[in-house]
Structure 1
Amino acid sequence: MINLTKTPITSFFKDYFKDFENYDEVLKSNMEINPNWEKLLTNFSELGINELTKRQGDLDWLLAENGVTYNVYNDPNGLNRPWNLNIIPFVIERKEWKNIEKGLQQRAQVLDLVLKDIYGKRELIKNGIVPYEIIFSHRGFLRPCHQIQYKTAKQLLFHSADLARGPDGQMWVVNDRTEAPSGLGYSLENRFTTSEVVPDIFNEINVKQPFSFIKDFNELLINAAPSHKENPTIVILTPGPHNETYFEHAYLSSFFGYPLVKGNDLVVRDNKVWLKTLKGLIQIDVIYRRVDDEYSDPLELNGNSYLGVAGLLNVVRLQNVAIMNPIGSGVLENPGLIPFMNSICKYFLKEDLILPQIASWWCGQEKERKHVLDNLKNFVVKPIDNTHREHIYFCEFLNKAELEALKKEILAKPYHYVAQEKISFSTAPNLSKEQLEPRKVMCRTFAVAKENEYSIMPGGLVRVAAERERLRVSNQRGGTSKDFWITNTEKRSYKKRQRYHWHHSTTNNLSGIGNIPSNTAENLFWSGRYLARTLVTARYIRMVLNQMSNSEFTQRNSDSENLHILYQSITHLTSIFPGFTGKNKEEAFKDPLKEIIKVLFDETQFGSLAHSLSSFNSSYYSLRNLWSKDMWRVYDKLHKTWHSFEKEDHKNIHKIIKLLDTVIIDLIAYIGLIEESILVEQGLLVYFIGFQMEQAIMCIDKSRALLTIKHNEDVEYEILESLLNSHESLNIYRYSFRSYLDIENVINLILLDNSYSRSLKYQINRIQKDIFRLPKRNEDTNLSSVQKSILDACNLINKANATNLIKVDKDSFTRTELEDLLASLSDMIHNTSLSLTDMYFNHSDEQIQLFNQNYIS
């Protein structure tokens, strides 16, 4: 072994042992380095502390750039907090891991048998191995799941265990995660990011890769399909973008190529689960579930749930769909089982547990309860059911009154509590402030069912306490993570490069425009609309601000009237009334910048730029499994720029113009990346329809505000120039007509040009072509209501003639025919949008609970 005091890495460990109390993964109490860390620390030493710190910054940057996030509820820094990964990995040598692996396989096998027994014969209760209160008073026990049979050999298909090293140096089981285990996607991202940023630290270290495990995971999903269907339809069911691990849901969807769906994407018909798509219903064979048990079916379980699928449990009961993990498996996440796990293992397998557990005492037993109450200060007390995030008591920190209150709670409901000994997790080095600090760590491992055994991921997810003194390890409390290495003393071979590959039967049979989930299609449609609305609004207001800025340096008589018309057009374009219209318009005219700032930054105002950005944000996160990393980076830059400016106290015209310049450039870059990143068959077509539709609507609104009223010659010239500028069409006009600005020519270009992509006519005809490419929902050969509405709009604008449209009513100075045309087109496009929504995006299915789920309290 290497002695720390005699190596060049001493500087890394400055003050490392100043408060050393526990087992450390790297250093022994005699300052010798554990052999399995020697080569890694040598690689660190060769990099040097300055380079290592720089690489940590690169790693943080890459995670943020790639949009790796973890949602923290009520976080003042926002919902999507960047994922934290420390550059120092966590290392376990292969020889030790083999024993851990055997223990994890055994534990998963035992829990699988427990799950079968709880919802089957209940021999554990009948034979006195497990007290009935532990099972029946846990909310995870779902009575409707009783006697459900499964076609898979194992019921517990995916198991996760939290491990921590105990005071004896062995890895102990702290928790089991069986309901919808999280962390797999984060562990993969940790490995990929570390490999990209610091490949040097892998030098001459043989780190086992997770390729075969990921292959086993994918094959499990395929093999779980009812009747062993050759090419099953598989989906990932997510609660949605506000879930704490939503990034992981989107990540795994993108990684495996399975659609990410929400509960209202699915529907039960004829005792089968169907995915609602653009062309109709497609039967689902396998659901990888990330929705909690009780929220999975509002008919038989929690009637207030909008996350699940009404009738899902009965489809499972009839074996017409496979779910990973089965509904009801949350009962295994029960610390009340821990005191009895060794007896359970002996009962089923005739052997002791391989992996030790935290010493635990269930308070429902008189002897154990007396021991707990007599020594309460030494324990951590937990409810056996933490499904509603009940309080955990660290008794050493409780005062006398709090201890007495807890004793009363335990005596009132003794069966509800488990006491566990307080163990100090082992520490591992974390890079912090240019040196290494010991931080408490916990490891999350993953197991998937494979034929008659369980396949264990080599490594997993390591979570680290947020601070040196912090006792609890939790991502919700600001913890970080580490890459988890299983190392081998054998030299790493570079001859054969392993890759992720799937069996041919994993071909995605949900490909094609007609098979897009209706929720995904709707979000793509509205992403297009919000993007177009944001871009058009930003360009228009920038144009007005530039006019305001120019008016400071000129005293032309037309400026005042021109600007008043432009101010009023902002109100009409955004529909933020009264604004520059109505009785109080004079007040708005006195300080137009104040009103414009509201139109830009007041997120509560529907139609404001801030509201449009926020609306796009919601659609964006719902679709993040489709977006590329470059798209995330552009959007993240836009998001940060916008919110940074919002916090500024003094906002003047020139600063706002500069902001809008940046926003517009980022939006254009993002829009361009969309066309590169998504195939038409993936839903790009639906996005295009939404984008063109919003552009057409806003083109109509601008034209109605600026073109339908005749003004004197000077003002009209300024208005036409402003319109062309906002439309980014002034240069094109000059190239096309090479003439003084003329209302007829402007109308021909902006409204009636069949070849100009920004003209209204082009946009409406493009919408018509794209809508006719959407799948028909039935065999009816007649035109659908969507097709009829957009065809009417096409016919109307195709017949329009600029010479007639410019005619002015002498009494009202209104171009009546132009106003009638634009008003009719607006109504037709609006009707098209409504018909499109009714036909393709209708997710409503009334969910009525059949009976209430009751629990012992």
Structure 2
Amino acid sequence: MIHTTTPTALPATGILGDYTPAEGLYDEMFGPDGGPHRHTELFVRRLESLGKSEFSRRWRQAEQQLREHGVTYSPPSDDKKRTRPWKLDGLPLIVSAEEWKTLTSGLEQRARLLNMVLADIYGKQKLVASGLIPPDLILGHPGYLRQYHGQNPPEDRYLHMYAADLGRSPDGRWWVTNDRTEDPTGSGYALENRVILSRMLTETFHECEVSRLAPYFITLKDHLSRIAPSRGNHPFIALLTRGPGTSKFFEDVYLAKYLGFTLVQGNDLGVRQDNIMLKTLGGLKKIDVLLRRVVSDQCDPLEIHCRKSGGAAGLLQAVRKGNVLLANSLGTGILQSPAFLAFLPALSRELLGEDLKLSSVATWWCGGEKERKYVLDNLPRLMIKDAFRMGTQKPIRPAAMSTKERMDLIDRIKAEPRRYVGQETVSRSSAPVWNGKGCEAAYTGLRLFLTAHEDGYEAMPGGLTRVASTPQILDVSITEGTQSKDTWVLSDGPVQQVSLLRDQRKIELQRAGSDLPSRVADDLFWLGRYAARADGAARLLRTLVSRLVSEDDWEQKPETPMLLNCAFEAIVDKRVPFPDASRPDSQEIRNFLIAAVSDLSNPDSLWSTLQSMRNMANNLRDRLSTDGWRIIDRSTDGSAPTLRPRMGLGGLLHWLNQTVVDLAAFSGLLSDSMTRSLGWRFVEIGRRLEKALFTSLILRTSIPAITNNQPTSMEALLELSDSLMTYRSRYMANLQLAPFIDLLISDESNPRSILFQLNVIKEYIDELPRSERIAGMDPVQQRAATTLYALHMFDPTKVTSSESAESLIDILEQLLSDLPMLGEAVAHRYLHHSGVSRSLDEIRAGV
């Protein structure tokens, strides 16, 4: 943590009572005299009136909200791309209205300038010809490709969104440290920070008259709609994401939901007649605008050599034809090179006829002889960066290097000078950060966001503030650092309520549609399957463990070996030895349960199934409610339960009970909140298919026990099928085979019976889109109808004992054969889509 100095006029008690600003740095909350700045005075007063106890209580609630919202990130420094929970501080960074005007004026000028530079780079290149931009800086940049020429965006607008990273020097001046022009990241996190902190400090938020963030997003939506190629009333706007497992996926989902845009991945897209089309179950749907969150060189494998493809083959041609708008245009990331900071002052005077209003941190490109000499002479006091940086490479700090390392660096710079930039070490301001007991000083960095509009650019009245214990961390990425802060921009007067739902253009009423991407339908189908599979496994294990912890003698529970056998067939890896059923407390039983519950190497174990369900839900974050994700997160977060001595079978039973309740809650929430559209049908087909399979497998495995009319075995199966109360209400305690079989297989009124599942499957398959070229039933309908007919022909009254169980065995084995094929038929007809696009270079390499 940074060195601090005791101020003269800080509050003696309360939340900020033990806070001491950093020595020699500008503090964002307090002035040199130790008292709050004029614009932070009201906030400090209101904060101190809360007291530590109340503030701590509210902060715990805020942290819980962050966890429930599932806010995560994946830092670029983590090679395994593991997601981590997003960290937010309970105190905002506050910017005065006067200072905000200065910042926005400078950044709006900067955005206009950068857009003009991009138009020249991918246009007539007069700036290169005149020497204002060195040719090596463009032609040597790996992010510059000739394929990006000819995009001709509407209104010559290459830069639709822009972000700038800023640091504040000890004298209080702001300096731009980085320009973000490729796909500016962080506005979604800034929005989530605002949601959390405005709820935590509601009264203070309103009293301080903090500007709202919604106008920024309204401007973005209006701009994209206005400039869309179709120029219709309702252009189709999609947000292009790399997908789950990538560092920006949470924010992509968050923005798509907030803005009302369709979230798409590269495999969802196709190109037809130079138009970008979304592949849906109902056919192809034209996309007018793609809000691009995929880096330029991964957008079109047909024209751009790339190791990973996140776009569509032919995308560039569609852009050139003017049939789709890309925001931002391809190739805009070239201006993220730190080398351009050295040339912006001259470019501003040339293109705008004015000096930069907001200066960049001092930068020297080593491609110039004089600049290279300065960098080499002042190496210890500078940072060295890659001049062509496109990602999040960490800067080199010569001051921390050994003599040999420094000499090696000098040799590298002399060998390839154009690849290096020298930059002054960035000063950072300090701000108080809540540590759970009090406040301590931390370094800060600020990212501000701008969006284009008809007359120029508009800044988000807020931003993403990052805090860290060392300033070096803040020079890398917005996801590097200890935590973040909400950024409060104070208004000049009362703040009006603003909503994104203010569009007054007439829209046509709809009930359902077939514009569901096949990838999304596939994920929904498997979400339903995994949820039902987990429910069946949890209920089976709960029924088994409840027998193991029972007070009854082992000999009085003959159903237990049957349940062990069911678990062995349905859940446990077959490499695990079947346990000795005569000893309920044996290590064999414990090992068996560990394998059934928490063996991640076994895809059928309960915990593996829950994690698969979580992965599917994560893919569908833009389609799930916050409550739905909260239930899944609660059930699957953390590590798998283990049978440690402290937990024991009783603890495992408690966890299984909670898991069953959570899965039931998730199922009920889907049922109550999903519209009965195609998405709902695929969830239900998946759920019902898995339920029918599970019941068929359990009954087939249990035939020796139930056909011998073992009442405890039948009772156990009714219990795990959640049908025991139904049976007793009809037949009292008289357990017989025929009514037992009827209830679990043939009873159309029992939502747990196999026939009930198949009726739902057949109904929903009949409602799926069909080819008009096929008369009568298509192959999927035929397979569903055949399976359903066979089940209708089964007569449970003829099954009374083991001697008459042949028809029961036949129908169960037919179901275990037909149901997987029915699932494959649904997937083949509706869910299988084209593979990953590859570049021509990759294809030729394999020839």
Which aligned pairs between 1:702-713 and structure 2 lie closer than 5 A? Answer: 702-707=698-703, 712-713=708-709
Task: Give the AA of the match of 2:304.
Answer: L
Rounded Cα–Cα distance in structure 2 between residues aligned with 1:301 and 1:280? 28
Find the counterpart in structure 1 of residue 653 from structure 2: 657
Find the counterpart in structure 2 of residue 525 from structure 1: 525
Task: Give the AA of the match of 2:181.
Answer: T
Measured on the aligned residues, the alpha-carbon RMSD in Å equals 2.8
How far residue 306 of structure 1 moved from its aligned partner, in angstroms, is 4.0
Is the Cα–Cα contact under 8 Å of residues 241 and 265 in structure 2 kept in the other structure? yes
Task: Give the AA of the match of 1:789.
Answer: R
Is the Cα–Cα contact under 8 Å of residues 9 and 41 in structure 1 kept in the other structure? no
SS across alignment from 1:447: strand
Distance 1:650 1:40, change over 3 A: closer
SS across alignment from 2:677: helix
Which aligned pairs between 1:385-534 and structure 2 lie closer than 5 A? Answer: 385-466=388-469, 474-490=477-493, 492=494, 497-504=497-504, 512-534=512-534
Rounded Cα–Cα distance in structure 2 between residues aligned with 1:509 and 1:269? 28
Distance 1:470 1:824, change over 3 A: closer
Rounded Cα–Cα distance in structure 2 between residues aligned with 1:70 and 1:666? 25
SS across alignment from 1:424: coil
Question: Within the alignment, does 1:754 sit opposite 2:757 as a pair?
Answer: no
How far residue 581 of structure 1 moved from its aligned partner, in angstroms, is 6.2
How far residue 243 of structure 1 moved from its aligned partner, in angstroms, is 1.8
Task: Give the AA of the match of 2:619.
Answer: S
The equivalent position to 2:712 in structure 1, one of 710, 718, 722, is 718
Find the counterpart in structure 1 of residue 573 from structure 2: 576
Cα deviations by residue, 1:567-602 (Å, 9 ceiling, x for unpaired): 2221222363254669x9999998233122111110
Find the counterpart in structure 2 of residue 728 from structure 1: 722
Find the counterpart in structure 1 of residue 817 from structure 2: 827
Task: Give the AA of the match of 1:82.
Answer: P
Which aligned pairs between 1:757-776 and structure 2 lie closer than 5 A? Answer: 757-776=751-770
The equivalent position to 2:343 in structure 1, one of 340, 344, 355, is 340
Is the Cα–Cα contact under 8 Å of residues 55 and 197 in structure 1 kept in the other structure? yes
Is the Cα–Cα contact under 8 Å of residues 450 and 460 in structure 2 kept in the other structure? yes
Task: Give the AA of the match of 1:831.
Answer: M
Find the counterpart in structure 1 of residue 688 from structure 2: 692
Find the counterpart in structure 2 of residue 318 from structure 1: 321
Find the counterpart in structure 1 of residue 594 from structure 2: 597
Which aligned pairs between 1:285-300 and structure 2 lie closer than 5 A? Answer: 285-300=288-303
Rounded Cα–Cα distance in structure 2 between residues aligned with 1:406 and 1:15? 44
Distance 1:452 1:511, change over 3 A: farther
Cα deviations by residue, 1:475-504 (Å, 9 ceiling, x for unpaired): 5434211111221354x35xx533333424
SS across alignment from 2:141: coil
TM-score by length of 2: 0.93
Rounded Cα–Cα distance in structure 2 between residues aligned with 1:123 and 1:408? 34
How far residue 782 of structure 1 moved from its aligned partner, in angstroms, is 2.9
Structure 1 residues 6-15 or 345-354, which shifts more?
6-15
The equivalent position to 1:180 in structure 2, one of 166, 179, 183, is 183
Cα deviations by residue, 1:380-428 (Å, 9 ceiling, x for unpaired): 1000223354342122222212211211111121100101001211122
Find the counterpart in structure 1 of residue 161 from structure 2: 158
Rounded Cα–Cα distance in structure 2 between residues aligned with 1:268 and 1:425? 47
Structure 1 residues 103-112 or 251-260, which shifts more?
251-260
SS across alignment from 2:535: helix
Question: Within the alignment, does 1:149 sit opposite 2:152 as a pair?
Answer: yes
Rounded Cα–Cα distance in structure 2 between residues aligned with 1:736 and 1:392? 75
Rounded Cα–Cα distance in structure 2 between residues aligned with 1:663 and 1:79? 25
Task: Give the AA of the match of 2:726.
Answer: I
Structure 1 residues 400-409 or 50-59, which shifts more?
50-59
For these two proteins, the number of residue pairs brought into alignment is 837
SS across alignment from 1:643: coil
Find the counterpart in structure 2 of residue 542 from structure 1: 542
Is the Cα–Cα contact under 8 Å of residues 627 and 677 in structure 1 kept in the other structure? no
Distance 1:564 1:52, change over 3 A: closer
Rounded Cα–Cα distance in structure 1 between residues aligned with 2:188 and 2:474? 26
Distance 1:9 1:671, change over 3 A: farther
Cα deviations by residue, 1:222-268 (Å, 9 ceiling, x for unpaired): 12321413211111111112122322111112112222121111122
Distance 1:286 1:779, change over 3 A: farther
Rounded Cα–Cα distance in structure 2 between residues aligned with 1:837 and 1:90? 51
Question: Within the alignment, does 1:609 sit opposite 2:612 as a pair?
Answer: no
Question: Within the alignment, does 1:635 sit opposite 2:625 as a pair?
Answer: no
How far residue 98 of structure 1 moved from its aligned partner, in angstroms, is 1.2
Task: Give the AA of the match of 1:766.
Answer: V
Rounded Cα–Cα distance in structure 2 between residues aligned with 1:293 and 1:321? 15
Find the counterpart in structure 2 of residue 215 from structure 1: 218
Is the Cα–Cα contact under 8 Å of residues 792 and 828 in structure 1 kept in the other structure? no
Rounded Cα–Cα distance in structure 2 between residues aligned with 1:74 and 1:680? 43
Alignment gaps of 5+ in structure 1: none
Find the counterpart in structure 2 of residue 62 from structure 1: 65
Distance 1:710 1:227, change over 3 A: closer
How far residue 142 of structure 1 moved from its aligned partner, in angstroms, is 2.4
Which aligned pairs between 1:196-215 and structure 2 lie closer than 5 A? Answer: 196-215=199-218
Rounded Cα–Cα distance in structure 1 between residues aligned with 2:181 and 2:509? 29
Cα deviations by residue, 1:684-708 (Å, 9 ceiling, x for unpaired): 2221111111101101111111136
How far residue 298 of structure 1 moved from its aligned partner, in angstroms, is 2.0
Rounded Cα–Cα distance in structure 1 between residues aligned with 2:836 and 2:61? 49
Is the Cα–Cα contact under 8 Å of residues 235 and 258 in structure 1 kept in the other structure? yes
Cα deviations by residue, 1:304-356 (Å, 9 ceiling, x for unpaired): 32422222222112221111111211111110111001111112111111101
Cα deviations by residue, 1:664-694 (Å, 9 ceiling, x for unpaired): 1111112211223322227222211111111
Is the Cα–Cα contact under 8 Å of residues 21 and 432 in structure 2 kept in the other structure? no
Find the counterpart in structure 1 of residue 737 from structure 2: 743
Rounded Cα–Cα distance in structure 2 between residues aligned with 1:773 and 1:621? 27
How far residue 436 of structure 1 moved from its aligned partner, in angstroms, is 2.8
Task: Give the AA of the match of 1:687.
Answer: V
Structure 1 residues 460-469 or 535-544, which shifts more?
460-469
Distance 1:163 1:508, change over 3 A: farther
Task: Give the AA of the match of 1:182.
Answer: T
The equivalent position to 1:90 in structure 2, one of 90, 93, 98, is 93
- Report % sequence identity: 31
The equivalent position to 2:666 in structure 1, one of 665, 670, 673, is 670
Rounded Cα–Cα distance in structure 1 between residues aligned with 2:699 and 2:55? 58
TM-score by length of 1: 0.92
Find the counterpart in structure 2 of residue 802 from structure 1: 796
Is the Cα–Cα contact under 8 Å of residues 10 and 35 in structure 2 kept in the other structure? no
Distance 1:785 1:681, change over 3 A: same
How far residue 784 of structure 1 moved from its aligned partner, in angstroms, is 1.8
Find the counterpart in structure 1 of residue 143 from structure 2: 140
Find the counterpart in structure 2 of residue 842 from structure 1: 832
Cα deviations by residue, 1:199-244 (Å, 9 ceiling, x for unpaired): 1222532222123222111112212321413211111111112122
How far residue 111 of structure 1 moved from its aligned partner, in angstroms, is 0.8
How far residue 297 of structure 1 moved from its aligned partner, in angstroms, is 1.8
Find the counterpart in structure 1 of residue 620 from structure 2: 623
Task: Give the AA of the match of 1:719.
Answer: S
Structure 1 residues 14-23 or 524-533, which shifts more?
14-23
Rounded Cα–Cα distance in structure 2 between residues aligned with 1:511 and 1:416? 57
Is the Cα–Cα contact under 8 Å of residues 598 and 640 in structure 2 kept in the other structure? no
How far residue 650 of structure 1 moved from its aligned partner, in angstroms, is 5.4
Rounded Cα–Cα distance in structure 2 between residues aligned with 1:230 and 1:599? 55
Is the Cα–Cα contact under 8 Å of residues 467 and 484 in structure 2 kept in the other structure? yes
Task: Give the AA of the match of 2:806.
Answer: T
Find the counterpart in structure 2 of residue 553 from structure 1: 552
Rounded Cα–Cα distance in structure 2 between residues aligned with 1:77 and 1:279? 37
Rounded Cα–Cα distance in structure 1 between residues aligned with 2:819 and 2:519? 21
How far residue 633 of structure 1 moved from its aligned partner, in angstroms, is 2.4
Structure 1 residues 241-250 or 173-182, which shifts more?
241-250
